[in-house]
Amino acid sequence: MVKLTGRCLCGNVKVEVVAEPLWVGHCHCPSCRKATSAAFATYAGFAAHAVMFRGKAPKKVVSSPGVIRRFCADCGSPVSFEGERWPGEIHLHVGFMDEPEKLVPTGETYLSTRLSWAHLEAKLDGTDTFPADPHG
């Protein structure tokens, strides 16, 4: 069984995941840009039952209807995204993980709102919106 770990910048919020990711990808939507203060967000999606927070619990905020984002209340590091469109899943920020190199993106979404200068080296499959089946 695979075990992945992660922690925020200050180390107060930690996570342990005992599952392979369902998917890994970049999101270029304006909401994710604002939530991360970055050109795009990179997530790894996991079954929620496989994700266990350790240490200090991350703070939750409802950032838009049907969306919960978590972050460290001490250092501000983004931790996760949960959307009602993906019941039973939690999407962890790849940069929050201890070994992000193991979480290789295979796709992108919201290409129509990608910043014109945000060109990635890898050629990935992509869509302008979330696919009907985000797993494939």
Whether the pLDDT of residue 135 is over 70: the answer is no
pLDDT 10s digits, 41-62:
999 999 999 999 999 999 999 9
Alpha carbon distances (Å) from 83 to 42, 86, 91:
15, 6, 9
The answer to whether residues 103 and 122 touch, using CB atoms and an 8 Å cutoff, is: no
Give me the chain's average pLDDT, please.
92
Mean pLDDT of 103-110: 93
Q: In which band, very low, low, confident or very high, does the pLDDT at 2 lie, cut at 50, 70 and 90?
A: confident
**pLDDT at residue 136 is higher than 60:** no
The pLDDT score that the predictor gives to residue 123 is: 66
pLDDT digits (tens, 9 = 90+) for 62-101: 999 999 999 999 999 999 999 999 999 999 999 999 999 9
Domain boundaries, the chain: 4-126
C-alpha to C-alpha distances, 71 to 7, 13, 24, 50, 84, nearest whole angstrom: 11, 8, 19, 19, 18
pTM of the model: 0.87
Whether domain 4-126 has CATH 3.40.50.880: the reply is no
